[in-house]
Chains A and B, each alone.
Chain A
Amino acid sequence: MKSTVMKTIAFTVMLTTLWLATYEISEAARRGGGGGGRSMSRGGPAGGGSMHRSQTRPQSSSRAGTMDRSRNSSRSQVNNRAGDRQISDQTRQNASDRRDNNQDRIDNRQDNLSDRQDFRQDRYDDRKEYRNDRQEWYEDSWRRGRYITAVRWGSVGCANVVYVNGIRYYQCGGVRYEQVYRGGEVTYIIVN
């Protein structure tokens, strides 16, 4: 009887311990911060901390090269066997292999051609995007040419102030500037 009571108590203690352990795991998962929350990868280009561009260019050329070499090796084996003039099942099989290899070669060439076309298209898209970026950059430069930032104004050395209709301008060398508040800072725009 005593033994049964002891076993029951032991069982209850074990059950409570397991429940507490389960609760702790669930709670840690809920809190996040290494214990749970949403599972997110901490990797990626920035997470890797590399200062170099990742090398993710298509590897079709090298892959095609590997396939070609394996095909040549297979053809070499076929030619060696064809030296035996006896017409046999093996010879017929070799002929069939050659036809298969020829078809594989054609397919591979088409794949390579397709890969090259894709690669050219990618390069074309990249160049187009680059040209667009350059165009925007030139437009920005053009805008920049129409004003001088406060930081660079000192190097202009223009202190000749004129007032036109109550507005203060700086007039130097045939160029009239207006001091304005532009996007959070003082700027001198060319008004003529």
Chain B
Amino acid sequence: MKAVVYGLLSGFLLLACGVSAAQSIAAETLEMSESDEIDDEAIAVLRGLSDHLASLEKFSYRYEASHDTVQSSGLKVEFGSTRRVVVARPDRLRMDGERRDGVRNTIIFSGEQIYAYVPDQKIYAAAEQPGKLDDAMDFAIRELRLKAPVSGLVSSNFFDDAMQNLKRAYYLGVATVAGEECDHLLMSNDFTDFQLWVTRTPTPLLRRLVITYREEPGEPQFRAHFMDWDLDPEIEEGTLSFVPPDDVARVRFYVEARLSEETAGDDS
């Protein structure tokens, strides 16, 4: 009789545990419902990364980037580059880039001037730097039209930047990228979907980023893999300043006006 009771009890417990496990998995899946589009866990990971980067006085990293370019024919072509970035807060930065076709480019924020240097062409352009890193980067991208992908990483408000117009944020779980465990996030705003892989370390770092320009024809992507993070780099003298060599000529930053303005003769 006792054996029967034990058997029934065991069966009941087995069923209860199975149901519990199933509910646990189902709960994870159900979080995808439209009523809950922002995962607190995803936001916490993003906040952790942003706060950590903002707390650093100086750091350096390297990244390998690629992006799709949709041709007028509809064909999609990938281009890529490698960049090394050195940041010294509050107002200095150096970004050395080399495209896959070999074209090199250096951007320097000296604290007083913004320099763009093309060593192979022996030219540089310079403009007065407005304020600290955040303002200077904003000016460089918006006004000088410099290309500085993932520039949000060097700003003090990467979190706010990523959260702007955010519609969805999902925590997708743990994924191993280049041998390192990372938290995998998927976020979406009005225009892009972006995925981040953030290292699961006490000092979280960005390991990979993929941006999909959802509203663009062909939905091109930008992809970047980050490596060689140094949170206390030795910055050699002259790295964050620029003295043009004798054989290097200064040229203007050229910014295109809109077509209608150009037609009207305003070509500044």
A residues near B (Cβ < 8 Å) are 4, 7, 11, 14-15, 18-19, 21-22, 25-26, 29-33, 35-40, 133, 137, 139, 142-143, 146, 150, 167-168, 178-187, 189
Instruction: Give the interface size bracket for B toward A.
Output: 35 or more
Give the contacting residue for B172; candidates A18, A25, A32, A189; CB below 8 A: A32
Q: Is the CB of A25 within 8 A of B24?
A: yes
Q: Is the CB of A18 within 8 A of B171?
A: no
What are the interface flags for B1-39 relative to A under an 8 Å C-beta threshold, 1 for contact and 0 otherwise?
A: 011001001100110010011001100110110000000
Docked complex Cα distance between A181 and B254 (Å): 6
Give the contacting residue for A31; candidates B29, B118, B174; CB below 8 A: B174
Q: Which 8 A-B pairs have the closest CB atoms?
A: A32-B173, A37-B173, A180-B254, A181-B125, A184-B147, A182-B254, A25-B21, A186-B121
Q: Which residues of B contact A187 (CB under 8 A)?
A: 254
B235 to chain A, nearest CB (A): 24
Docked complex Cα distance between A146 and B72 (Å): 19
B140 to chain A, nearest CB (A): 11
Residue B208 lies at the interface, judged by CB distance under 8 Å to chain A:
no
Nearest A residue (CB) for B30: A39
Residue B146 lies at the interface, judged by CB distance under 8 Å to chain A:
yes
Residue B82 lies at the interface, judged by CB distance under 8 Å to chain A:
no
Give the contacting residue for B256; candidates A21, A143, A178; CB below 8 A: A143
Total of A-B residue pairs, C-beta within 8 Å = 121
Docked complex Cα distance between A39 and B20 (Å): 18
A187 to chain B, nearest CB (A): 7
Docked complex Cα distance between A181 and B175 (Å): 41
Nearest B residue (CB) for A167: B252
Q: Which residues of B contact A15 (CB under 8 A)?
A: 13
Docked complex Cα distance between A177 and B72 (Å): 27
Q: Is the CB of A37 within 8 A of B254?
A: no
Q: Is the CB of B253 within 8 A of A37?
A: no
Q: Is the CB of A18 within 8 A of B13?
A: yes
Q: Which residues of B contact A33 (CB under 8 A)?
A: 173-176
Residue B189 lies at the interface, judged by CB distance under 8 Å to chain A:
no
Q: Is the CB of B173 within 8 A of A36?
A: yes
A91 to chain B, nearest CB (A): 56
Give the contacting residue for A36; candidates B28, B125, B217, B255; CB below 8 A: B28
Nearest B residue (CB) for A185: B103
